[in-house]
């Protein structure tokens, strides 16, 4: 499932293609949304934003489309009404004179009023979105300090969208590595300095991944690896999916463990206490 940086980049692409251009045609596959095809034709998309792992499309006329890709949903953009060559099932299509946006395979699509957005069953449970322009480092640090989360295991907590929204499996391992913390503890077991390091890593790596298209590794390390001829897969991460490879920072062998049905990756020398 895409994580916050990928969802925000998708929202940016949709905004570029759709914002402030009259809609020339719409298609909704679900019968419950058919009535909006005529209502919204000729109006404009005013904005597209991410909320956790969902996307909100704001239409002129106080309509907001909520969509969540789940595991298989995918937005695709094309010019001049061309349709992608895919076997996926089309759920939504939005056309203007320059571009067409197609949403395939998504199962959760709803039309809301703006005032209904904060009370949507998914959105109201979200923690602060680490990539939202209004989210500060202090807001993320407050989550790490919050009493409600102290008895939670860090590896589980980082995937809880009610804690900090937008974090998924690759960011989880990368954040713990960058903060230099042992991944096996509950939140209460970390010092104040470690919680500050976790908050800083959460913000820095999420935003770095957004800006780079999915790269969390330090730019200096990436450049060195490029000079050595390493491919993108080897350049991209500190530890995620680098089992049995050497840590870029200390040279120790990266380990993996399964927790809660999903793998975490860590460096024993950089993260585990003696």
Residue 82 predicted with pLDDT over 90: no
Which of 21, 53, 17, 57 minimizes the C-alpha distance to 36? 57
Q: Are residues 59 and 13 in the same domain?
A: yes
**Whether the Cβ atoms of residue 165 and residue 127 lie closer than 8 Å to each other:** yes
- Percent of the chain with pLDDT strictly greater than 90: 89
Choice among 2, 5, 128, 183 that is catalytic: 2
Active site residue 262: yes
123-177 per-position pLDDT tens digit: 999 999 999 999 999 999 999 999 999 999 999 999 999 999 999 999 999 999 9
Q: Would residue 103 count as lying in a domain?
A: yes
User: Domain total for the chain?
Assistant: 2
Distance CA 153, CA 187 (A): 6
Choice among 3, 49, 174, 194 that is catalytic: 3
Q: Are residues 144 and 113 in the same domain?
A: no
Mean pLDDT of all residues belonging to the chain:
94
Q: Are residues 141 and 265 in the same domain?
A: yes
Domain termination site, one of 93, 124, 155: 124
230-255 per-position pLDDT tens digit: 888 889 999 999 999 999 999 999 99
Mean pLDDT of 16-35: 96
Q: Which CATH number goes with the domain that contains 147?
A: 1.10.8.50
Q: Would residue 129 count as lying in a domain?
A: no
Residue 256 predicted with pLDDT over 90: yes
Q: Which residues pair with 246 in a beta bridge?
A: 253
H helices of 80-153, in order, are 137-145
**In Å, what is the CA distance from 32 to each residue of 5, 121, 203?**
31, 18, 39
Q: Are residues 35 and 77 in the same domain?
A: yes
Q: Are residues 109 and 218 in the same domain?
A: no
Query: Quick count: other Cβ atoms within 10 Å of Cβ 119?
Result: 9
Q: Residue 147 belongs to what domain range?
A: 137-271
Give the end-to-end CA distance of the chain in Å, rounded to a whole number: 35
Q: Are residues 109 and 161 in the same domain?
A: no
Q: Are residues 150 and 61 in the same domain?
A: no
- Percent of the chain with pLDDT strictly greater than 70: 99
Choice among 9, 51, 53, 91 that is catalytic: 53
Query: How would residue 260 be classed by pLDDT, with cut points 50, 70 and 90?
Result: confident
**Whether the Cβ atoms of residue 52 and residue 4 lie closer than 8 Å to each other:** yes
Active site residue 147: no
Q: Which CATH number goes with the domain that contains 51?
A: 3.20.190.10
Query: How would residue 92 be classed by pLDDT, with cut points 50, 70 and 90?
Result: very high
Q: Are residues 21 and 92 in the same domain?
A: yes
Q: Would residue 130 count as lying in a domain?
A: no
Pairing of strands 74-79, 63-68: unpaired
Q: Would residue 247 count as lying in a domain?
A: yes
167-219 per-position pLDDT tens digit: 999 999 999 999 999 999 999 999 999 999 999 999 999 999 999 999 999 99
Q: Would residue 211 count as lying in a domain?
A: yes
Choice among 74, 207, 241, 262 that is catalytic: 262
Q: Are residues 105 and 151 in the same domain?
A: no
């Amino acid at each position: 499932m895409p994580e916050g940086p990928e969802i925000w980049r998708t929202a940016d692409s949709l905004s570029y293609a759709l914002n402030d251009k009259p809609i020339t045609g719409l298609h909704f596959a679900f019968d419950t949304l058919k009535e909006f095809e005529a209502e919204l034709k000729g109006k404009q998309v005013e904005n597209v934003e991410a909320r956790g792992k969902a996307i909100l499309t704001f239409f002129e006329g106080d309509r907001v489309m909520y969509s969540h890709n789940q595991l298989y949903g995918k937005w695709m953009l094309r010019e001049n009404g061309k349709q992608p060559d895919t076997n996926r099932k089309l759920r939504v299509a939005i056309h203007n004179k320059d571009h067409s946006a197609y949403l395939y395979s998504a199962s959760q699509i709803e039309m809301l009023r703006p005032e209904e957005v904060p009370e949507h069953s998914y959105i109201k449970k979200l923690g602060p979105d680490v990539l939202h322009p209004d989210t500060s480092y202090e807001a993320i640090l407050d989550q790490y300090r919050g009493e409600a989360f102290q008895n939670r295991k860090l590896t589980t907590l980082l995937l809880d969208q009610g804690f900090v929204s937008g974090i998924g499996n690759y960011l989880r391992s990368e954040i713990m590595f960058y903060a230099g913390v042992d991944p096996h503890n509950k939140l209460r077991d970390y010092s104040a300095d470690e919680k500050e390091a976790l908050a800083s890593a959460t913000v820095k790596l999420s935003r770095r991944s957004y800006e780079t298209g999915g790269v969390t590794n330090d730019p200096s390390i990436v450049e060195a690896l490029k000079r050595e001829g390493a491919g993108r897969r080897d350049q991209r991460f500190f530890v995620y999916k680098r089992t049995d490879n050497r840590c870029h920072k200390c040279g120790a062998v990266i380990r993996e463990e399964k927790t809660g049905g999903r793998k975490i990756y860590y460096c024993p020398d950089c993260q585990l206490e003696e």
